[in-house]
Amino acid sequence: MEKPNSGLVEKTFLLIISICLICVVVEAEEFPAMFVIGDSLVDCGNNNFLRSFARSDFMPYGIDFYAGPTGRFSNGKTIIDFLGDLVGLPLLPPFEATITFGRDILKGVNYASAAAGILDESGRNLGDRFSLSQQVENFKSTLSQLKRKMDERKLEEFLGKSLVVMNLGSNDYINNYLIPSLYPNSSRYNSQDYADLLINHYAIHITVLHNLGLRKFLLAAVGPLGCLPNQIATGVAPPGKCVAFINDMVEVFNKKLISLVDQLNANHTKPSTFVYGNTYGVFTDILNRPDDYGFSETDKGCCGIGKNRGQITCLPFAMPCFNRDQYIFWDAYHPTQAFNQIVAQRAYTGGLSDCYPMNVKQMAQV
C-alpha cells in the first residue's frame, strides 16, 4: 500500500487548524465594543473617583475577583463582566480610568455609577454620582476621543455594531421614591405617573445616544426590589415573603419599559435594535426555584449586619459567608457573582421570556 504523503497530511492538518481558529475568532467578535450605562449593579469602579458613600473599593468586596476590590458591588464579577466573556470582549474600563489613566476605549467603556438614577436627583442622599444625563455626557467625551482614532465611515460602522447595555431605575425607587422624608416624589406622583416620568426621561436620553450613532440597545428591567435583604429587613412583609407593594411599583415601570422598547423599534428602522432584558423575570424565577440553580439562601446577604444581614450593608473588612455561591445576595442590595453569571447567560441565549424581542446573541447577528 502506498504511504500517504507526509507533507500533504501536515499541510491539510494545518489548514483545518487555521479554519477552526478563524471560526473561533469570528464567533468571539460578536460586537466590536460594549458601552454600559447604569448603576451599582454594573458599576466597575467609577465611584472610586467620586465623593460618595456608595463605594465598594474595599474588602471583602471583590473577595472572589482576581483583582480584589475594584469598585464592583459584588464578591466577584458583575453581569457585565460575564456578558463580556460571552460576546468575546475584555473587562471594560470605568470611564474615569479612561480619563485619569488613559485606559483603552476601543473595546468599550463602562459609565455606570453607584446610586445613579434616571432622574438627576436620585441617589443624592449618598453623595456624588454620575446620573443618567451625566453618563450620556461622559459618552460624548469618549466619542470625541474615538473621532481622533478612526475616520467617519469606520466610526459609524463601529458604533452601529457595538452593544449598549443600560441598567437604571432601581435608585429612582430605593434612593428617591421610597424615601419620602428626603424626596417629595411619592406625594407628587402615584406609581403610574412616577413610572411615566421615569420612562419619559429615559426615552429622551436613549434617543440622544441613538442620534450619536449607537444602534443596538439592551435595556434591563428593574429587579424585584421588594425582595432585597434591605427591603425585607426594613419593610413590612410576612416572614419569608417579599415586600409586595414595592414589587408592584417596579412592575408598573417594567411594563412601560416594554412598551417603550416596542415604540423605539417601531420608530427606528433596522439596523437599530432595542431589546428588553427581563431581569425581573429571571430574578423571580430563581427566587421561586432556588434549588434548581444551586442556591440555599434567598433572602439574606452574604455580607451585612442586622436582620437578614440587610439592615446595614457590607462594611470594610467585614467577615462574609463562606458558601458564597449558595447565596443569591452578596450584600443588602446586590447579588453574588453566582447569580450574575446566570442572568448574563439568560440575556445571551435566553428565550423571549428573558429577552424581548430577541436575545443578545441574536442582536449580534442583526
For residues 279 and 73, what is the distance between their CA atoms, to the nearest angstrom?
Answer: 17
- Out of 43, 64, 331, 354, pick the active-site residue: 331
Catalytic, out of 40, 52, 131, 191: 40
CA count, 13 A, side-chain hemisphere, 308: 25
Sign of CA dihedral 97, 100, 101, 102: positive
Active site includes 120?
Answer: no
Q: Which of 162, 172, 201, 334 is catalytic?
A: 334
Task: Assess whether 331 carries a catalytic annotation.
Answer: yes
Distance of CA 358 to the CA centre of its chain: 17
Q: Where are the beta strands (DSSP E) in the chain?
A: 34-38, 108-110, 163-167, 216-220, 273-277, 297-301, 304-305, 312-313, 327-329, 355-356
**DSSP one-letter string for 206-228:** HHHHHHTT--EEEEEPP--GGGS
Bridge partner residues of 274 (DSSP): 217
Give the position of cell 465623593. Answer: 51
Q: Please name the amino acid found at residue 63.
A: I
CA torsion 207-355-47-328 (nearest 10°) is: 160
d(CA 65, CA 253) in angstroms, rounded, equals 33
Extract the C-alpha cell encoding 317: 473588612
Residue 213 neighbours by CB distance under 10 Å: 15
Amino acid identity at 28: A
CA 146 to CA 143: how far, in whole Å?
5
List the catalytic residues.
40, 331, 334
